[in-house]
Amino acid sequence: MCIFCKIVNGEIPNNTVLENDEFIAFEDIHPQSKIHTIVIPKVHVESFAQVSAETMSNITPFIQEVTKKLNVDKDGYRLITNIGSNGGQEVPHLHFHILAGQRVGRLVSK
């Protein structure tokens, strides 16, 4: 069982930001910004490459609600998902990072 499934099952404590029947948002334990929140579906989906259109259509308003609760919906935020090892995905469970609370640096490609 992956670490995010253990969080969903209550086996690992977290600082929950928002939760409903389908999704949970919680603070990242290694924040990369003043605000760094993780959003996951409660059902295990390995990555964006496997997610259903229905889950995506349901997670979108949830993420928007999280940004309102964090008071970053007006000032802006970065929303990131990593897919697979080459994409930097460390936990094999679909998750979105919300980075906010400060100006986020520009991504630079090589």
User: So what's the pLDDT on residue 108?
Assistant: 56
Q: Is the pLDDT of residue 77 over 60?
A: yes
Choose which CATH entry (3.30.1240.10, 3.40.50.12280, 3.40.190.290, 3.30.428.10) describes domain 3-94.
Answer: 3.30.428.10
Burial 50-84 (b: 16+ CB within 10 A, else e): ebeeebeeebeebbebbbeebebeeeebeeeebee
pTM over 0.85, yes/no:
yes
Q: Give domain limits for the chain.
A: 3-94
The percent of residues in the chain predicted with pLDDT above 90, rounded, is: 91
Give the catalytic positions in this structure. 95
